[in-house]
């Protein structure tokens, strides 16, 4: 009898040892961002940290953010199911889903928007001693265009062609992350750098605060008009005087919305809970953690998004909050 009881106890312990790890096992969702000197990375860290704090225990899902090459690389990782969530410019996300532009032969159909984030500004910073004032002056120079697979490789060719009449063949492109671009500018190794992000951008603040005299390429109303004929998603963005150290005038620039995107297969209820955290529970804290996110409101949550659809969980959340969802943002699985 004792032997039988002992056997039952041993079997019970073994079952518990097998079950407990399964019960505590968690799903991990990584948010791909960008290089550390831009805004994608700190914005992604802020979002992932708050989601992890609020949802890990109740859902069993752990969230984390990691660096990447930026929008183009993030979209490829979404396509290949290497990552479940990412930050991306809404423009490449739109074109990737529609299979146009750079994605004409590489459509990515499993992209879903979760929310718009903040305006991303085209910031082209140059050394003052290079005689650069306009994009056409980049000819023959060394220009950093961001890391391979980053937004610079996507946006710059269009902008340079339409506004400056040049291509990457007309200058020496350097594929550097934002922090490396700052160092290269300070060490006179490059003449200018694309540092597109929200403002203030830490990399731009760093270079403006350094010993190197720098300026930023501005866009006239005529430049913007020409750009909008080809790329209507661009809009005027003015960086006020004093935003960066020693910046003594307003900067007339252009930009577009960035977005949080997801792979289609993420659970609908999880996305709904994520948006509850972001907009109904922790929006003020999110804004405190990352200045770029201060522009976020639920009324702006889908403004600037087009081309690709929302995630089904996002559609349900926004409808519950009284937002009118355009038909083009309804995913095929909900039609």
- Does 308 have pLDDT greater than 90? yes
- Domains and their CATH numbers in the chain: 26-119+258-334 (3.40.190.10), 121-256 (3.40.190.10)
The whole-angstrom separation of Cα 62 and Cα 120 is 28
Q: Please state the φ and ψ torsions of residue 186, each to the nearest 5 degrees.
A: -65, -30
- pLDDT tens digits, residue range 219-244? 999 999 999 888 877 889 999 999 99
- pLDDT tens digits, residue range 61-109? 999 999 998 899 999 999 999 999 999 998 899 999 999 888 999 999 9
Q: How far is CA 271 from the centre of its chain?
A: 18
H-helix or E-strand spanning residue 254: strand 251-263
Highest mean pLDDT among 91-95, 292-296, 314-318: 314-318
Place of tokens 């160092």: 183
Per-residue pLDDT, 38: 82
Token code pair at residue 29: 């969702």
DSSP state string for 116-168:
EEEEEE--EEEEGGGT--SGGGGTTSEEE--STTSHHHHHHHHHIIIII---G
The whole-angstrom separation of Cα 42 and Cα 289 is 9
- Does 8 have pLDDT greater than 60? no
Per-residue pLDDT, 334: 94
Per-residue pLDDT, 56: 95
In three-state secondary structure terms, 88 is strand
Nearest to 181 by CA among 33, 285, 21, 35: 35
The whole-angstrom separation of Cα 152 and Cα 249 is 25
Token code pair at residue 137: 């002056």
Per-residue pLDDT, 303: 87
Task: Tell me the CA distances in angstroms from 10 to 7, 13, 23, 97, 271, one per residue in order.
Answer: 5, 5, 20, 55, 42
Per-residue pLDDT, 232: 77
The whole-angstrom separation of Cα 84 and Cα 116 is 17
The whole model's pTM is what?
Answer: 0.75
Place of tokens 């407990």: 20
- pLDDT tens digits, residue range 140-197? 999 999 988 777 888 899 999 999 999 999 999 999 999 999 999 999 999 999 998 8
The whole-angstrom separation of Cα 90 and Cα 96 is 10
Contact between 43 and 296 under an 8 Å Cβ cutoff? The reply is no
The whole-angstrom separation of Cα 39 and Cα 251 is 19
Q: What is the mean pLDDT of residues 311-330?
A: 97
- Does 213 have pLDDT greater than 90? yes
Q: Sheet harboring 172-174: ordered strands across?
A: 172-174, 142-144, 192-194, 124-127, 214-216
Contact between 165 and 136 under an 8 Å Cβ cutoff? The reply is yes
């Amino acid at each position: 009898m004792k032997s039988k009881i002992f056997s039952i106890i041993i079997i019970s312990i073994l079952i518990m040892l097998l079950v407990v790890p399964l019960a505590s096992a968690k799903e991990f969702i990584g948010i791909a961002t960008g290089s550390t000197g831009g805004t994608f990375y700190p914005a992604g860290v802020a979002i992932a940290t708050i989601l992890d704090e609020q949802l890990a225990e109740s859902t069993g899902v752990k969230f984390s953010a990691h660096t990447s090459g930026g929008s183009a690389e993030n979209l490829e990782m979404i396509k290949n199911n290497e990552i479940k969530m990412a930050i991306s410019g809404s423009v490449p996300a739109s074109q990737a889903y529609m299979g146009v532009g750079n994605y004409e032969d590489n459509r990515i159909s499993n992209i879903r928007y979760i929310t718009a984030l903040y305006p991303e500004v085209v910031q082209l910073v140059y050394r003052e001693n290079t005689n650069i004032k306009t994009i056409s002056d980049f000819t023959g120079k060394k220009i950093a265009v961001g890391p391979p697979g980053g937004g610079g490789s996507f946006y710059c060719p269009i902008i340079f062609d339409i506004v400056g009449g040049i291509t990457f063949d007309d200058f020496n492109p350097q594929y550097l992350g934002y922090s490396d671009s700052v160092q290269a500018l300070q060490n006179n190794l490059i003449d200018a750098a694309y540092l597109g992000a929200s403002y203030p951008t830490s990399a731009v603040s760093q270079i403006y605060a350094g010993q190197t005299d720098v300026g930023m390429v501005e866009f006239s109303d005529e430049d913007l008009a020409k750009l909008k004929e080809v790329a209507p998603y661009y809009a005027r963005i003015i960086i006020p005087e004093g935003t960066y150290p020693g910046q003594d005038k307003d900067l007339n620039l252009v930009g577009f919305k960035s977005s949080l995107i997801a792979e289609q297969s993420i659970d609908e209820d999880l996305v709904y809970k994520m948006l509850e955290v972001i907009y109904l529970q922790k929006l003020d804290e999110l804004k405190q953690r990352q200045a770029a996110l201060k522009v976020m409101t639920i009324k702006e949550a889908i403004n600037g998004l087009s081309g690709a659809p929302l995630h089904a969980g996002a559609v349900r959340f926004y409808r519950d909050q009284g937002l009118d969802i355009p038909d083009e943002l309804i995913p095929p699985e909900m039609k």
